[in-house]
Amino acid sequence: MSDDHVYRVIEITGSSPKSIDDAIQVAVARASKTLRQLRWFEVVQTRGHLDEGKIQHYQVTLKIGFTIDDGSDVTTA
């Protein structure tokens, strides 16, 4: 494994009727199902949906960074 730290960054939005924290957890949990080596996140935006003056759900947009495979398990022909 290399000591170089190179990251790919994606942006996703999680939502939850419970809280901002839960919306973050939902987004990270979903990303971890299809992405490997998640390393960090940054909250980019928070917002929510209102109905008749009441909060219906929270939305949090995150940037998520994950390390790029070093390619050591790739074979060449």
Question: What pLDDT is stored for residue 71 in this prediction?
Answer: 64
Query: CB burial class (10 A; 0-12, 13-18, 19+) of residue 65?
Result: middle
How do the domains of the chain map onto residue ranges?
Answer: 7-67
3-state secondary structure of 68: coil
> Considering the entire predicted model, what is its pTM?
0.80
CATH number of 7-67: 3.30.1660.10
How do the pLDDT tens digits run along the chain, 77 residues long? Answer: 556 778 999 999 999 999 999 999 999 999 999 999 999 999 999 999 999 999 999 999 999 999 987 665 544 45
- Give the C-alpha separation, 64 to 48, whole Å: 20
Nearest to 63 by CA among 45, 42, 47, 35: 42
